[in-house]
A and B are shown apart, each in its own frame.
Chain A
Amino acid sequence: MNDIQWLIGGEAGYGIMTTGIMMSKIFTRLGLSVFDYVEYPSLIRGGHNAYYVRASDEEIYCQKRTVDILVALNRETIDKHKHELFENAAVIYDPDTIKVEPNEFASSVLLVPIPLLESTKQVGADKLMVNTVSVGASLALFYSDFEILRRIMEDTFGRKGENIVYLNVNTSKAGFDYVLKNFSKKFSVSFEKKPQKNILIGGAEAVAFGAIRAGLKFASIYPMTPINPILTTLVSSALKYSIVVKEPEDEISAISMAIGASFAGVRSMTATSGGGFSLMVESLGLSAQTETPLVIVEGMRPGPATGFPTWTEQGDLRFVMHAAQGDFPRIIIAPGDVSEAFSQTLHAFNLADKYQLPIIVLVDKYLMEGHATAPIENFKALSSKYRIERGKMLSDQETEGMVDYERYELTDDGISPRSIPGQKGGIGFSGSDEHDERGLYNEEADNRIKMMDKRFKKLEFAIREFPAPVLYGKKDAPLTIIAFGSSKMPIMQAMKWLEKEGIDANLLQVSYLAPFPGAAVERIIKSAKKTLVVEGNKTGQFEGLIREHTGLVVDHNFRKYDGRPFYPEEIVAKVKEILCQNLKI
């Protein structure tokens, strides 16, 4: 088995992101399982950027701690990441710009000095393209055919014209040839090309693709890390799929426009991070009160205030769960990986329409801005199986002869047939005040109770179509890890590594967080031997939720709030610590 992690580090503004994606693409086209993760400060120029790409011929789930190929575009990268180098790692650097002493590394480390800057000059490229030289150089360490990269360059830059393709191909080829000639076979890992079954997809792209497939027609999104790639992806498909995508003046406007578009009858969404969601809060309640379907993506990053803008956390769970005044029904879904980001977004749109309420898709920077491979057939299958369900939305024919239509008619399931403006017999009123069946403000006590109960009634039906929480791994494992959202990825990786050492742990992943599936979680916890909650926040927001809904206290917890995602190594250590403790007792 080959399992390597490549890392490029350098100053922001040197194309680190593009280089990282390029590398991920190379591994993807080699038919490998890939995961990438980027760390960068909230700056446009200067500051340290680090892009990790892990690839393996076995299925992987996330990044890891150790680095096998380090591309250092500056000295700082070496200082910062030297300690991450694994046995037999290679370090690519430009001896003309960086001073490196062989004795600062372990003896097994392969130094790959290459004239990156000089190579760009020879090709006639800008000095900013040193990163492109390094991609070719990296490739030559573990694969001997340049064609794979040439094709990627053509596919990526074809639209920008021949000259750009020429420059990219030639700079990367220069790096490739140099390493092939001087260092080939010196690196310990080499890959064989396998049939490619996967695509490389980012979490944000997966959300956007889900929305597009679900029939999204309108999105209003105010930029904020980490959901910007949702906006970018939607914009690049906007004309093809005839979706109006707007960047409004602020988040209040973003959510309000989405509510308006939805009220007018099209599927709509907005996306933001915690700061923007704070501004949306009042309108979240408006969506619920007027029973206007809405999908909101909330991408968590560490708060409060501006916090840690480009880092990750799972600290907004309680916030989205309780945001806005009063009691009202809402659904919260937290996908755990790119495939779920796609499938659960598809589901979110159906739920919103069928139950006429706000749906929050809760994600984080780690999931949004990282990329992973997943079988293209899975996405295609989900896509072809998907049916757009708009629930009790009335057709033009149905409303044609209607008289005295009532927008908030009381029904057995709490869901009222919904007309849209333009429908002749469907003239109706949607109000944010408490209202009667006609939508008219009403302050009577019994009406208030009827309407509150009506809105909540919908949830009783909605939860019937929630998938049950999933238990991954052996049922009778000595430890059950409980988690939500993106923590799933490092936990799955940790479980796989533990399994190889003969240690079993299983994972209870709760994706549908509100309404909380208390009974199902309780059942699983009760039959678990030991429990461990893993979550990315300081106060144990998820752990408290479990206790609130099950009355059960979990045995252990592992919380992280340093802005970094969980590493599988950390989880392995935690699991071992818990299980060893048990042995001692």
Chain B
Amino acid sequence: MSELKDLEITYDKPNWCPGCGDWAIWVSLKNAIVALNLNPWEVVLVSGIGCSSKLPYWVKTYGFNGLHGRPMPVAEGIKLANSGLTVIVIGGDGDQYGEGTNHLIHAARRNIDLTLIVHNNQIYGLTTGQYSPTTDIGEKNKATPTPTVEAPVNPLSLAISAGATFVARGFAGDHKRETDLIVEGVKHKGFSIIDSMQPCVTFNHKNTYTWFYERVYKVEEKGHNPKDKAKAFALAEQWPLRLPLKEGEKESIPTGIIYKEERLTWGDGILQIAQAPLVKQSVEEIDINPILEELK
């Protein structure tokens, strides 16, 4: 059980730009931990590198800040070693949809029971504004002399097809809803991803709060059933666009729980941890004589 004040650290505070979407996700995550009644010492936040990945520094749970693109396998190792922990992975779009995509795909297919929150600002923040795997097609910035011609990664379609069992989209402009999505994602037994749209006020001058407010809608208000996989795919495919927008058209961006499925998790299939987490198992008195005898 925890209260917000238990999650505060006293010796530092976030250094994100004022107005950055990371703030809202930070608040939402803390609120979610409280709402979920989790003990802070039983939560591990694992992150990569980027503005967003600094988040764990400012929450008083266990934290591991690793390498760019690589928080996922570290988190998987943590979860397999101690299945009693709540493990949450934090990364940016560069971290998760660029450098570390391979790990994301495999974590999803394994359906390991952890939650991934991607701060998707469609730009590289920490390295000062180069385009990212989710930058809208046709955008131009310091890493591309002409508008991008690369179709962006579609995180939701990717996650569904890779085998993720909880796929949602959040938006930093609505932190209450973001909190609810994190709560649902953590509660879900299996691999959860919350692709969270996070305006970067310093480098991304296109995908701003206002831009999103004019385009986002809530899938549940349209009666979406997240168990309907075909529909989920169709929603996922609504945005981002793989071709530049035609004159007079406007994007429509679905948010909320897009897809949900119950499936055996990776941990469920591992007999060695069926009784107790690995970390709780005794390593005293290991007798290897029987296997030595077999080599006679």
Chain A residues lying within 8 Å of B242, measured Cβ to Cβ, are: none
Q: Mark A401-431, 1 if CB is under 8 A from B, else 0.
A: 0000000000000000000111111111111
Contact between B102 and A250, CB atoms less than 8 A apart: yes
A266-B73 contact given A218-B80, A256-B66, CB 8 Å threshold: no
- A420 nearest CB neighbor, chain B only: B279
B279: chain A residues within 8 A (beta carbon) = 217, 264-266, 420, 422
Name which of B41, B79, B103 has the most chain A CB atoms within 10 A of its CB.
Answer: B41
Residues in A whose Cβ lies below 8 Å from that of B84: 422
- Cβ of B56 and Cβ of A429 under 8 Å apart? yes
Q: Are B41 and A424 in contact (CB under 8 A)?
A: yes
Choose from B41, B70, B270, B289 the contact partner of A421 (Cβ within 8 Å). Answer: B41
A29 and chain B: residue at smallest CB distance: B296
Does A261 interact with chain B (Cβ within 8 Å)? yes
Binary contact readout B10-48 vs A (1 if CB under 8 angstroms, 0 otherwise): 011000000000000000000000000001111010100
- Chain B residues near A217 (CB-CB < 8 A): 81, 278-279, 281, 283
Among the stretches A197-205, A456-464, A534-542, A558-566, the one at the interface with B is A197-205
Kindly report which residue of chain A lies nearest to residue B60, judged by CB atoms: A427
B residues 260-296 touching A (CB-CB < 8 Å):
270-273, 278-279, 281, 283-284, 286-289, 291-293, 295-296
Interface: B64 (CB within 8 A): yes
Pairwise interchain contact B57-A429, C-beta atoms closer than 8 A? yes
Q: Does A215 contact B (CB under 8 A)?
A: yes
Question: Complex Cα distance A430/B67, Å?
Answer: 12
Which residues of chain B have C-beta atoms less than 8 A from A424's C-beta?
39, 41
**Inter-subunit contact B283/A249 (CB<8 Å):** no
Query: What residues of B have a CB within 8 angstroms of the CB of A283 in the complex?
Result: 67, 70
Q: What is the chain A residue whose CB lies nearest that of B100?
A: A252
Residues of A within 8 A of B73 (CB): 220, 248, 252-254, 256-257, 260
- What CA separation (Å) do A421 and B289 show in the bound complex? 33
Q: How many Å lie between the Cα of A224 and that of B128 in the bound state?
A: 39
Which of these, A205, A257, A441, contacts B74 with CB under 8 Å?
A: A257
Chain B residues, CB < 8 A from A423? 41
B82 at the A interface (CB under 8 A): yes
Chain A stretch 339-377: residues in CB contact (< 8 A) with chain B = 376
Interface size class of A (residues with CB under 8 A): 35 or more
Tally of A-B Cβ pairs under 8 angstroms: 200
Known A379-B292, A380-B292, A438-B11: A244·B278 in contact at CB below 8 Å: yes
With a cutoff of 8 Å between Cβ atoms, the chain A residues found around residue B74 in the complex are 256-257, 259-260, 263
Q: Mark A226-267, 1 if CB is under 8 A from B, else 0.
A: 000000000001111111101011101110111111111111
Which residues on the A side are within 8 Å of B65 (C-beta)? 429-433
Are B77 and A264 in contact, CB atoms less than 8 angstroms apart?
Answer: yes
A142 to chain B, nearest CB (A): 20
B residues at A contact (CB < 8 Å): 11-12, 39-42, 44, 46, 49, 54, 56-57, 60-67, 70, 72-82, 84-85, 102-103, 105-106, 270-273, 278-279, 281, 283-284, 286-289, 291-293, 295-296
Listed by A's residue number, 23 A-B pairs whose Cβ atoms lie within 8 Å are A199-B293, A199-B295, A212-B288, A213-B286, A217-B281, A244-B270, A249-B106, A256-B67, A257-B80, A260-B75, A264-B82, A264-B279, A266-B279, A286-B67, A376-B296, A388-B284, A421-B44, A421-B82, A424-B39, A427-B40, A427-B61, A438-B11, A441-B57
Partner-B contacts on A (CB < 8 A) = 28-29, 196, 198-201, 205, 209, 212-213, 215, 217-218, 220, 237-244, 246, 248-250, 252-254, 256-268, 282-283, 286, 290, 376, 379-380, 383, 388, 420-433, 438-441
